[in-house]
Amino acid sequence: MKNIFGLIAILSISLISAQQKKQVRAATVGFLNVENLWDTIRSADYIDGTKDINNPAFHRSVPLDSIKYLEVTEKDYPGPWNDEALKGKKVVRIQSGSEEFTPKSGKNYTYRIYKKKLENAAKVISEMGRSYTNTAPVVAGLIEVENRQVIEDLVKEPSIAKYDYGIVHYNSYDYRGIDVAFIYQKRRFTPSKSWKKEVKIFGENGKREYTRDILVLTGFLDNEKVAFFLNHWPSRRGGESVSVPKRNAAATILKQQMDSVQALDPSTKMFAMGDFNDDPVSSSLKNYLKAAGNPKDLSETTPYLNLMYPLYKKGIASLAYQDAPNLFDQIIVSANLNSPNKEVRKDYTVFKAEIFAPAYLVNKEGNYKGYPFRSWNGDQFTGGYSDHFPAFVILQKDPTP
């Protein structure tokens, strides 16, 4: 069990067409769970519903001690918490997780620790796919970020600052106060539109539970039309059987979003990625999203390919949940990104997908030897990276006119 992650190997090869024996153009698309990337300031969400929903000031993160200076029209607003319901209102929502990540908390979360978290995340981003493309990811998803400020701090880190990453982020109404976000190399990806899609889930008592949104980003990757869907589905808190309907609900919403983008333009190349809190063989991905594990199973009714299914069948995992290996971190693509026999075309197709697990991301000792080298052991900062291994896909195409 402890050595399950030893099955993961990173192959350093040149991305060369076996058919044409010439260099091809390549791009990395991937994501990483940054395991609670919070700043050190206790924060709250301030929603100014008098502003346009697309205005970043509609829903923003603010220091808790600044609330007294802000206008609040409903001081004890009970919910519901969504953009439509909050139109016209000015309310505050305390982030339940932000108190845990401050210098005064049990974690003693200081600026020094915060800077180490930024440095670690930037190092991983800078190296994802590098052995194939000699550069950092063109588009990378970030999971478990507190707010836009931590992303702005992250892209300024020396190891990735030269890539001039742009940011796409929306605040969610997640009960802890964590979000998902994209960063992208401005010289190679041009965004056209982005939006967040609310995931409505309910507990056994019928009470609404607030989780992360699905973030959608469309645009042009090296002049090809693409769409990205970033996910952090409801956890298995309370047990798998209790939580399954919540992830099935998330899968249904993701499929609706992907289907609608595809219907508008079938040529759009789509990437759904993230921490699904389910394996490739789980009902949410197989039956609700209709994600095929084998290219031979692609069809009009099963139009999406789960690139992580072959890795899962080999026993590769991206984390250990309750001491059992799981491959929750996955990338699923539209059928037009599949190229039989990895033939190089004039447009981007998938060369390969990997779980990224270099030695420094792997725990080397103790009860969790072989597992991801996580940032926290209870309230003790380990200096590690994340409780998940990142995932990426390498794209290839013939660069000749």
Query: If we measure between CA atoms, which residue out of 61, 333, 84, 351 comes closest to residue 200?
Result: 84
Cα–Cα distances in angstroms (integers) from residue 20 to residues 16, 343, 400, in the given order: 8, 10, 12
User: Would you state the pLDDT for residue 22?
Assistant: 59
**CA-to-CA distance for 41 and 37, rounded, in angstroms?**
12
User: Would you state the pLDDT for residue 86?
Assistant: 97
Burial (CB count within 10 angstroms: exposed 0-12, middle 13-18, buried 19+), residue 398:
middle
What confidence tens digit (pLDDT) does each residue in 42-59 have? 999 999 999 999 899 999
Q: What is the mean pLDDT of residues 164-184?
A: 96
The answer to whether residues 337 and 350 touch, using CB atoms and an 8 Å cutoff, is yes
Q: What is the mean pLDDT of residues 138-156?
A: 98
Beta-bridged to residue 397, according to DSSP, are: 25
Q: What are phi and psi of 69, to 5 degrees?
A: -95, 0
Q: What is the mean pLDDT of residues 20-32?
A: 84
Q: Is the pLDDT of residue 141 over 80?
A: yes
- Three-state SS at 296: helix
Q: Is the pLDDT of residue 2 over 60?
A: no
Please report, rounded to a whole number, the percentage of residues in the chain having pLDDT higher than 70: 94
The amino acid at 310: P
User: Would you state the pLDDT for residue 240?
Assistant: 82
- Three-state SS at 264: helix
Look up the pTM and report it: 0.94
What confidence tens digit (pLDDT) does each residue in 226-255 have? 999 999 999 988 888 889 999 999 999 999
User: Would you state the pLDDT for residue 324?
Assistant: 84
- Three-state SS at 189: strand
The answer to whether residues 338 and 305 touch, using CB atoms and an 8 Å cutoff, is yes
**CA-to-CA distance for 346 and 355, rounded, in angstroms?**
27
The amino acid at 127: E
Q: What is the mean pLDDT of residues 200-223?
A: 94
The amino acid at 111: Y
What confidence tens digit (pLDDT) does each residue in 349-394 have? 999 999 999 999 999 887 788 899 999 999 999 999 999 999 999 9
The answer to whether residues 38 and 110 touch, using CB atoms and an 8 Å cutoff, is no
Q: What is the mean pLDDT of residues 207-235?
A: 97
User: Would you state the pLDDT for residue 11?
Assistant: 33
- Radius of gyration (Cα) for the chain, nearest Å? 21
Q: Omega of the bond prior to 80 within 30 degrees of 0, cis? A: yes
**CA-to-CA distance for 385 and 124, rounded, in angstroms?**
9
**CA-to-CA distance for 178 and 308, rounded, in angstroms?**
25
As given in the structure block, the two tokens for residue 111 are 């600026």
Please report, rounded to a whole number, the percentage of residues in the chain having pLDDT higher than 90: 83
Residues 6+ apart with CB under 8 A from 398: 17, 20, 24, 25, 344, 345, 346
As given in the structure block, the two tokens for residue 301 are 């009714």
User: Would you state the pLDDT for residue 15?
Assistant: 54
Residue count (the chain):
401
Beta-bridged to residue 276, according to DSSP, are: none
Lowest mean pLDDT among 2-16, 17-31, 332-346: 2-16
Residue with tokens 């509609």: 58
Residue 117: its H or E element: helix 111-127
User: Would you state the pLDDT for residue 168?
Assistant: 98
